[in-house]
Amino acid sequence: MNRIDKKKFNEIAEELEFSAKTDEKRMSAALKALKENVQKFKKFKI
Protein backbone atom coordinates (compact mmCIF):
# COMPACT_ATOMS: atom_id res chain seq x y z
CA MET A 1 0.00 0.00 0.00
CA ASN A 2 2.89 2.31 0.74
CA ARG A 3 4.54 1.86 -2.62
CA ILE A 4 1.51 1.11 -4.79
CA ASP A 5 -1.12 3.44 -3.34
CA LYS A 6 1.44 6.06 -2.23
CA LYS A 7 0.02 6.02 1.30
CA LYS A 8 2.02 6.97 4.37
CA PHE A 9 2.67 4.41 7.10
CA ASN A 10 0.30 6.14 9.51
CA GLU A 11 -2.50 6.13 6.89
CA ILE A 12 -2.03 2.40 6.26
CA ALA A 13 -1.86 1.67 9.98
CA GLU A 14 -5.08 3.55 10.63
CA GLU A 15 -6.84 1.75 7.79
CA LEU A 16 -5.65 -1.69 8.97
CA GLU A 17 -6.02 -0.84 12.67
CA PHE A 18 -2.48 -1.29 13.94
CA SER A 19 0.38 1.04 14.83
CA ALA A 20 2.45 2.88 12.23
CA LYS A 21 5.59 1.41 13.82
CA THR A 22 4.25 -2.11 13.16
CA ASP A 23 3.70 -1.17 9.53
CA GLU A 24 7.23 0.24 9.23
CA LYS A 25 8.74 -2.92 10.74
CA ARG A 26 6.72 -5.21 8.47
CA MET A 27 7.65 -3.21 5.38
CA SER A 28 11.31 -3.23 6.38
CA ALA A 29 11.27 -7.01 6.90
CA ALA A 30 9.49 -7.59 3.59
CA LEU A 31 11.96 -5.42 1.66
CA LYS A 32 14.91 -7.19 3.31
CA ALA A 33 13.50 -10.61 2.35
CA LEU A 34 12.86 -9.41 -1.18
CA LYS A 35 16.42 -8.11 -1.56
CA GLU A 36 17.84 -11.42 -0.29
CA ASN A 37 15.73 -13.42 -2.73
CA VAL A 38 16.65 -11.16 -5.65
CA GLN A 39 20.33 -11.66 -4.82
CA LYS A 40 19.85 -15.45 -4.81
CA PHE A 41 18.04 -15.25 -8.15
CA LYS A 42 20.83 -13.14 -9.68
CA LYS A 43 23.36 -15.83 -8.74
CA PHE A 44 21.31 -18.49 -10.52
CA LYS A 45 22.27 -18.51 -14.18
CA ILE A 46 20.61 -20.46 -16.94
**Does the structure show a pLDDT above 80 at 3?**
no
Residue 2 belongs to a domain: no
Q: What would the pLDDT profile of 7-35 be if each residue is shown by its tens digit?
A: 887 888 888 888 878 878 888 999 999 99
pLDDT at position 34 is 93
Residue 18 belongs to a domain: yes
In the chain, how many domains are there?
1
**What element of type H or E holds 17?**
none
Residue 19 belongs to a domain: yes
pLDDT at position 2 is 67
pLDDT at position 45 is 64
Residue 23 belongs to a domain: yes
The residue ranking higher by pLDDT, 2 or 25, is 25
Residue 3 belongs to a domain: no
Residue 30 belongs to a domain: yes
Closest CA to 1 of 35, 13, 29: 13
Asked if residue 32 lies in contact with residue 25, where contact means CB atoms within 8 angstroms, the answer is no
Residue 35 belongs to a domain: yes
Q: Which range marks the domain in which residue 25 is found?
A: 9-43
Residue 1 belongs to a domain: no
